[in-house]
Homo-oligomer: A and B are copies of this chain.
Amino acid sequence: MNFPSKLIEDAVNEISRLPGIGKKTALRLALHLLKQKETVTEELSSALLALRKDIRYCATCHNVADSGHLCSVCLSNRRNKQIICVVEDIPDVLAIENTNQYQGLYHVLGGVISPIQGIGPDELKIDSLIQRCAHTISEEKVTEVILALPATMEGDTTSFFISRKLKELNVKVSTIARGIPVGGELEYTDEVTLGRSILTRINYSSE
Q: List A residues at the B interface (Cβ < 8 Å).
A: 1-8, 10-11, 13-15, 17-21, 25, 27-34, 38, 40-55, 63-66, 71-73, 89-91, 93-94, 97-98
Instruction: Return A182 CB to nearest CB of chain B, in Å.
Output: 19
A11 contact from B17, B47, B94, Cβ within 8 A: B47
Q: Is the CB of B5 within 8 A of A18?
A: no
Copies of this chain in the oligomer: 2
9 pairs of residues in contact across A and B, judged by CB atoms under 8 Å: A2-B98, A4-B90, A8-B64, A11-B50, A11-B51, A14-B43, A15-B44, A34-B90, A42-B49
Q: Is the CB of B48 within 8 A of A94?
A: no
Q: Is the CB of B47 within 8 A of A41?
A: no
Q: A14-B47, A45-B48 are in contact. Are A2 and B94 (CB under 8 A)?
A: yes
A28 contact from B3, B20, B44, B53, Cβ within 8 A: B20
Q: Is the CB of B19 within 8 A of A29?
A: yes
Q: A11-B48, A14-B48, A15-B44 are in contact. Are A4 and B64 (CB under 8 A)?
A: yes
> Whole-angstrom distance between the alpha carbons of A22 and B123 in the complex?
32
> Whole-angstrom distance between the alpha carbons of A7 and B54 in the complex?
8
> Whole-angstrom distance between the alpha carbons of A7 and B28 in the complex?
26
Chain B residue numbers with a CB within 8 Å of A42 are: 49, 52
